Amino acid sequence: MAARTGSLRQIFTERSKERLLSRKDFPEMNGNGRHVALSDRVARFCDSVSKFFRGLREMGRSDPRKVVFAMKAGLSLALVSLFIYIKEEQLNKYSIWAILTVVVVFEFSVGATLNKGFNRSLGTISAGGLALGIAELSVLAGKFEELIIVLCIFIAGFCASYVKLYPAMKPYEYGFRVFLLTFCIVLVSGRTSREFFSTAFYRLILIAVGAGVCLFVNIFIYPIWSGEDLHKLVVKNFNGVAASLEGCVNGYLQCVAYERVPSKILVYQASDDPLYRGYRAAVQSSSQEDTLVDFALWEPPHGPYKTFKYPWRSYVKVSGALRHCAFMVMAMHGCILSEIQAPPEKRLVFSNELQKVGTEGAKVLRQLGSKVEKMEKLSTCTDILLNVHEAAEKLQMKIDQQSFLLFNSESWQAARKPKENENPDNLIDLKDNENKQAIDHFPQ
Confidence band (pLDDT; 50, 70, 90) for 274? confident
pLDDT at 441: 46
Q: Identify the CA nearest to 334 among candidates 276, 288, 416.
A: 276
Is 355 exposed, middle or buried, given 0-12, 13-18 or 19+ CB atoms closer than 10 A?
A: middle
- Model confidence over 28-62: pLDDT tens digits? 444 555 555 777 788 888 888 888 888 888 888 88
The predicted pLDDT at position 14 comes to 59
Q: How many percent of the chain have pLDDT more than 90?
A: 11
To the nearest whole number, what is the mean pLDDT of the chain? 78
Residue 305 pairs with which residues in a beta bridge? 302
- Residue pair 37/43 in contact (Cβ under 8 Å)? The answer is no
pLDDT tens-digit profile of 338-358?
777 777 787 788 888 888 888
Of 286, 264, 274, the C-alpha closest to 241 is 274
Query: Is the Cβ–Cβ distance between 108 and 225 less than 8 Å?
Result: no
pLDDT category at 1 given cuts 50, 70, 90 is very low
The dihedrals phi and psi of 443, each to the nearest 5 degrees, come to -65, 140
Pick the residue with more confidence: 283 or 261? 283
pLDDT at 427 over 50: no
What is residue 415's predicted lDDT score, i.e. its pLDDT? 53
Report the candidate in 293, 262, 255 with the shortest Cα–Cα distance to residue 276: 262
- Please write the tens of the pLDDT for every residue from 166-220: 988 888 888 899 899 888 887 877 665 556 677 677 778 888 888 889 889 998 9
Taking only the tens place, the pLDDT of each residue in 99-111 is 888 888 888 999 9
pLDDT at site 265 = 67
